[in-house]
Structure 1
Amino acid sequence: MEWVRGTDQQNMIASVLGMGGIGKTALVSHVYSIVKYDFNTFAWIMVSQRFDVDHLLQQIVREFRKNDRRKEFPEDIDMTDCSILQDIIRNYLKNRRIFEVARLAPESNIIYLEPLEKNDAQLLFYKEAFWRNNDMICSQDKEQWAKTFVQKCNGLPIAIVCIGRLLSFRTPCSLEWEKVYKDIEMQLTNNPIIDMNIILKVSLEDLRHNIRNCFMYCCLFPEKHVMQRKSLVRLWVAEGFVEEVGNRTLEEVAEDYLTELIHRSLLVVVKRNDSGCVLEVQMHDILRVLGLSKARHENFGSILNPAKAYLIKGARRVSTECGDLAQLVEYAPHLRSLLVFQNSFTFGSLLQLSGYQIRPVFELFNLRFLGLRRTRISSLPRSIGRLKNLLVLDAWKCKITKLPQEVTKLYKLTHLILTHLIVTAKPVTSSLEFLPSVGVPAPTSISSMKKLQSLLLMEASAEMVRCIGALVELRTFRISNMTQLTRLGIANTKWLPL
């Protein structure tokens, strides 16, 4: 820590090297979280193997704007003009200690991370295998098996964690541990050391079928992508991965799936709220690569590479960040779902489009999830009423001011989420500041949409209040413009979450 906090000019840049899964990101993240408040500003940027320079510049600006303790970073920045962002960042860093970092100073320090020593590896294994127990003590009948597992992992932290968590879900007896070991032994050939591919294979075989599908689905998201909990569980539901359990909603059951994947260390929590509830999750790069290989092998899903579009042949689910999406028609005739993270397209039974303007097409009769969040769509056509299987319509912070009456024909819809973004004269600053939005008038006969569980953000009206009583499945409800409900005595309240 002192090394990072010091003023030695040679400590401006540090490189951390080591094999995949050895804990490079974990180490840097830990140091960053401790020392960041010793600086006037700080930024955490994750760069994937496939990256876009403009997007990285926008990320850096967002981080500096959010974490500028002296409030010296320019507030009004046109985030759509990436040509000026580099100069803005450079000018901001001038005369600061971190200016050398911005110039990529040639002097650097390299930290080599080695595999864990035997004792440290053993302690990590006990911590993961007995995380449910306060004492984390291994009984004598399992101690020899514990040493055997640790030896096989060869000091690789991610392997130790995954094996330990896998064992924690088994009956705590030596016979169960022996069974897991034999399952792993069956996968080994001449290599006495367990590799991550074997660990993931055994871990996936230990999952229930539906949860296994949810894990492989997460592999389709881009490298280092942060997944929002609410959106993710709704996507799982729309895909049909979630089974009904008693009187619980499918989203509630999906939350349990997510919790199990986290407890098995197959997903990592990125952010929690003040109550400890998970808000964002992420997948480790190694697990994602191995999971993608498994997904491709089973034709579960694939990622579109425009140069090798033939590789998606037979895939039922495809995600893409670039390329000619017309290739999908030729090479993926059995496509059910498409996740688009930069381009726009309309196909399959599920469509997720975030952050980009799209041309809406509503002829997809099997569509179950339509994500239009933060796009520039200003209206929905009457043909939206044809999407009889739609479960989720997410148009948060679009430019939609009115819903067509045909929306009320979507009898299966469980989540109707939309707000009208208020256009201001200030430059577009993306997430640098709060972009105000207001509710949208509810269409008449909204009471016919009896499957609704989430309804936000609707503009308050007497008609809206009369219809709410019929929506017996409703769990989340928000309205705006409370001035129209003065007779209820809550005129000074801007939002009303129920």
Structure 2
Amino acid sequence: MPLQAKQYRNHKPIIQIYTLVYAVMAESVVSFVLDHLSQLAAREANLLYGVEDRVQSLQYELQMIKDLLNTTKRKKGMEHTLLNQIRDVAHMAEDVIDTFVAKVSIYKRRTILGRMLRGFGQARLLHDVAQKIDKLKSTLNEIRDNKDKYDAFREATNQSTAEEEEEKERLQSLHKLRRDVEEEHVVGFVQDSKDVVKRLQEGGSNLKIVSIVGMGGLGKTTLARKVYNSSMVNDRFDCRAWVYVSNECRVKELLLGLLKHLMPNFEQQRKSSKKGKKSSGDINNMNEEELKKQVWNCLETKRYLVVVDDLWKRQDWDEVQDAFPDNNNGSRILITSRFKEVALHAGDDVPHYLQFLSEEESWKLFCRKVFKGENRPSDLETLGKQMVQSCRGLPLSVIVLAGLLAKKEKSQREWTKVVGHVNWYLTRDETQVKDIVLKLSYDNLPRALKPCFLYLGLFPEDFEIPVMPLLQKWVAEGFIQDTGNRDPDDVAEDYLYELIDRSLVAGVMLNGRLETCQVHDLLRDLCISESKEEKVFEVCTDNNILIPTKPRRLSIHSDMGHYISSSNNDHSCIRSLFLFGPRYNVGGREWKWLLDECKLVRVLDFGSNSCLKIPSNLGNFTHLRYLRIESDDITFVPDSILNLWNLQTIEWSNWWPYSIDSISFPVQMWKLKHLRHFNVGLNVKLRGRCSELDQKMWNLQTISSLVLNEQATSLIKKGTFPNIKRMEINDDEDELPNLLQSLELLKHLNKLVICITTRESLSEQVTHFLHNLETNGVEVVINFNKEKEYFHRAQILGLC
């Protein structure tokens, strides 16, 4: 048999997996578009006036395509070109309808005279969209009627139906199976740990730099963390600090990260600036040299240990080394890097080279993850060791492989399938061993988890991703479907826990709750490569500003102003935009670019960029669902925000805490019927006249920090927030006693935060009410003079 034919025969199973992945992605896109059109037709049918019949027929065509994909996705051989066609047509359909809806919503907000003047344009718009829909339907008909490409897929099997039911049951019961996220047991680092600790202890009083070198996935960070937390290291040093560097080093952020560890009152100093003023002595206002001096001052008199994790470039070390004093106290710096030359450049000592795990260590690590202390079937040992051997001692590959098999039936039949796929990867390219299990684990993710996992590649390398905003973004993106009666946020959290359980994501717990998560840089690379191929998203840096594709999501990791000036890409299809570049002031020029180029955006996250203003036509982002803004200057939000009828989450924070007293928001917030989270780090003062009608915000779950003025008090008394779970209120005018009866009716409330001026503001009536709330399981937090103070029942009763 010719070698090429033999290779094709051996590769056939994995080619079939690729085909299924393409089919799943195409079906997911079609499903989302159908769901989007259905919601639009149900909630805002008036916006489709004039084309509703064509939209309905387009839905019918898309549903037929979806049914076809559903009944054939378990089969093999569908052409990638065809699947890409289906995905692209679904995206085009979404763009056509969303563009039409955005224009109609603006048209309907005009005055009668304005509508008359633009009546001709509206008629032309109806004609154009009707033509585009008819063209899309013709394309879908051609795809569906091309039987030659579907003959291999026509049969639907009972097995596919059974697997669908099994998948549904798995997702429904997932929340019952959640368990605590624990740090992975370290295997094979016993001697390594002793060696590194010994190096840190050896030597004189001069500053010494110790380094750990190894390829990605070998466990450099895990070893460094084990050393960092060891009792011998803890007892030796006066203070410790840990900072991530990564491939894109940002010196200012790195120095601020060090100060966060080194200054116990770091957050308080950030908040110490006078209201409305920014002093040159404030930490956040310092330049890099001033921050280095601040770090130097913190370390000068101490015996310190600083871990510089994932150092990539020699010049990055050159830019930060001046912050570390050689104070003759026996201080140490521990560096982890992939590159020997970087480690040798930073210090004179020979690096500690991290070795691959032995076969025995790899097997031990694998068994811990797969069997979790239970007895392992003896008939699986041969197959298991065969797969573990293919990982070539790379801990990350072992852990991810184990996470994959932990979710599968522990039988020879299931494990034999995985063995075949791993072997195919090995025959493909033995130099890319580290990619074997990573790609296979992604391919084996449940359909619902694939987009959630890929989404993590949008964030910068080594970025600590806040969990709650991430879950809210997943909901806004439409990733969380078929939730039944469960809250979408809870289902999203289940998805994240499963990704953690599969060792694809690392979770960080705080006070018993999952606060942040991270993805290993090798897995992040996988997310980026898969997303680029599937047109899910693109990450833009200074090196690739001219992106040739048209992604649905764009994450800009460069200066926003530089990107706007340099990029001539088409952004009309952008549905999600993330700005993770250096801190930048977003003004009128940037807003104009956003409103002109990204009209259909659903998720808009400004990152650390500071917004100087909010445009009066913000409401033109008709499809916006998630908005995150950071600002020190905005005190007024225009009424046009009430036109964002799709809005689900508002995240509003300020870099300079308390730099402005409050922010004004229209009282008609009840018009935002789909708003779920209204989280503002400033005092929110509602303005305007209250409606006489009793309007309900059935979806609102969290609100902060609401000032109890006349308007806010009126909304609470009218029961505007019946399903609120977390509420933060600022009672500067002693309105709280008048609201107790209304607050008592909030049956879903589980946390109440109250900001009051003094302890004396707590009347006996209020104290008794808070006591009852705690008895009923509500967490109560009182902030005196803006400083949070958690207290229990005895503290409430005693006012201590």
TM range (shorter): 0.7 to 0.9
Please point out which of 292, 308, 328 is paired with 2:544. 308
Say yes or no: does 1:486 pair with 2:774: no
- 8 Å CA contact 2:696–2:722 kept in 1: the answer is no
Match of 1:160 in 2: 398
Structure 1 residues 33-432: aligned runs within 5 Å: 33-34=229-230, 35-36=233-234, 38-66=236-264, 77-82=282-287, 83-98=289-304, 99-100=325-326, 106-131=347-372, 134-135=373-374, 137-191=375-429, 195-269=433-507, 271-275=508-512, 277-311=513-547, 313-323=549-559, 324-326=562-564, 330-342=569-581, 343=584, 344=586, 346=594, 347=598, 348-358=601-611, 359-361=613-615, 362=618, 363-373=620-630, 376-397=633-654, 399=660, 400-420=662-682
**Deviates further, 6-15 or 249-258:** 6-15
Match of 1:432 in 2: none
Please point out which of 213, 220, 225 is paired with 1:24. 220
Question: Residues 390, 397 of structure 1: CA spacing in aligned structure 2 closer, same or farther, 3 A cutoff?
Answer: same
Render the CA deviation track for 1:83-133: whole Å, top value 9, x for unaligned. Answer: 3121222233334444336999843341000000111111001011123xx
**Deviates further, 151-160 or 207-216:** 207-216
- 8 Å CA contact 2:455–2:527 kept in 1: the answer is no
Residue identity matched to 1:490: V
Please point out which of 684, 691, 714 is paired with 1:463. 714
How far residue 245 of structure 1 moved from its aligned partner, in angstroms, is: 1.9
Q: What's the C-alpha RMSD, in Å, of the aligned pairs?
A: 3.0
How far residue 336 of structure 1 moved from its aligned partner, in angstroms, is: 1.0
Question: Residues 396, 190 of structure 1: CA spacing in aligned structure 2 closer, same or farther, 3 A cutoff?
Answer: closer
Instruction: Return the alpha-carbon distance in structure 2 between the equivalents of residues 106 and 305 of structure 1.
Output: 30
Question: Residues 349, 447 of structure 1: CA spacing in aligned structure 2 closer, same or farther, 3 A cutoff?
Answer: same
Which secondary structure does the structure 2 equivalent of 1:418 belong to? strand
- 8 Å CA contact 2:461–2:521 kept in 1: the answer is yes
Which secondary structure does the structure 2 equivalent of 1:232 belong to? helix
Render the CA deviation track for 1:303-361: whole Å, top value 9, x for unaligned. Answer: 11344233352211111121434366624432111111234554322101233312434
Instruction: Return the alpha-carbon distance in structure 2 between the equivalents of residues 192 and 485 of structure 1.
Output: 68
Instruction: Return the alpha-carbon distance in structure 2 between the equivalents of residues 329 and 336 of structure 1.
Output: 18
Residue identity matched to 2:217: G
Structure 2, gaps ≥5 residues long: 1-196, 274-280, 305-324, 334-344, 741-764, 771-780, 791-800
Question: Residues 360, 33 of structure 1: CA spacing in aligned structure 2 closer, same or farther, 3 A cutoff?
Answer: farther
**Deviates further, 454-463 or 294-303:** 454-463
**Deviates further, 300-309 or 256-265:** 300-309
Residue identity matched to 2:731: N
**Deviates further, 181-190 or 209-218:** 181-190
Residue identity matched to 2:228: Y
- 8 Å CA contact 1:154–1:193 kept in 2: the answer is no
**Deviates further, 450-459 or 232-241:** 450-459
- 8 Å CA contact 2:200–2:210 kept in 1: the answer is no
Question: Residues 182, 102 of structure 1: CA spacing in aligned structure 2 closer, same or farther, 3 A cutoff?
Answer: closer
How far residue 55 of structure 1 moved from its aligned partner, in angstroms, is: 1.9
How far residue 441 of structure 1 moved from its aligned partner, in angstroms, is: 4.3
- 8 Å CA contact 2:556–2:579 kept in 1: the answer is yes
Instruction: Return the alpha-carbon distance in structure 2 between the equivalents of residues 414 and 105 of structure 1.
Output: 49
- 8 Å CA contact 2:666–2:686 kept in 1: the answer is no
Residue identity matched to 1:381: P
Question: Residues 341, 180 of structure 1: CA spacing in aligned structure 2 closer, same or farther, 3 A cutoff?
Answer: same
If each structure's helix is expressed as a fraction of its own residues, which one has the higher value?
Answer: 2
Instruction: Return the alpha-carbon distance in structure 1 between the equivalents of residues 348 and 432 of structure 2.
Output: 38
- 8 Å CA contact 1:356–1:376 kept in 2: the answer is no
- 8 Å CA contact 2:670–2:720 kept in 1: the answer is no
Residue identity matched to 1:321: H
Instruction: Return the alpha-carbon distance in structure 2 between the equivalents of residues 78 and 10 of structure 1.
Output: 29
Identical amino acids, percent of aligned pairs: 26
Question: Residues 219, 9 of structure 1: CA spacing in aligned structure 2 closer, same or farther, 3 A cutoff?
Answer: same
**Deviates further, 98-107 or 383-392:** 98-107
Instruction: Return the alpha-carbon distance in structure 1 between the equivalents of residues 663 and 649 of structure 2.
Output: 19
TM, length-normalised to structure 1: 0.86
Match of 1:475 in 2: 725
Instruction: Return the alpha-carbon distance in structure 1 between the equivalents of residues 445 and 428 of structure 2.
Output: 27
- 8 Å CA contact 1:153–1:193 kept in 2: the answer is no
- 8 Å CA contact 2:602–2:624 kept in 1: the answer is yes
Structure 1, gaps ≥5 residues long: 421-437
Residue identity matched to 2:458: L
Question: Residues 281, 306 of structure 1: CA spacing in aligned structure 2 closer, same or farther, 3 A cutoff?
Answer: same
**Deviates further, 303-312 or 408-417:** 303-312
Instruction: Return the alpha-carbon distance in structure 2 between the equivalents of residues 245 and 37 of structure 1.
Output: 50
Instruction: Return the alpha-carbon distance in structure 2 between the equivalents of residues 440 and 14 of structure 1.
Output: 54
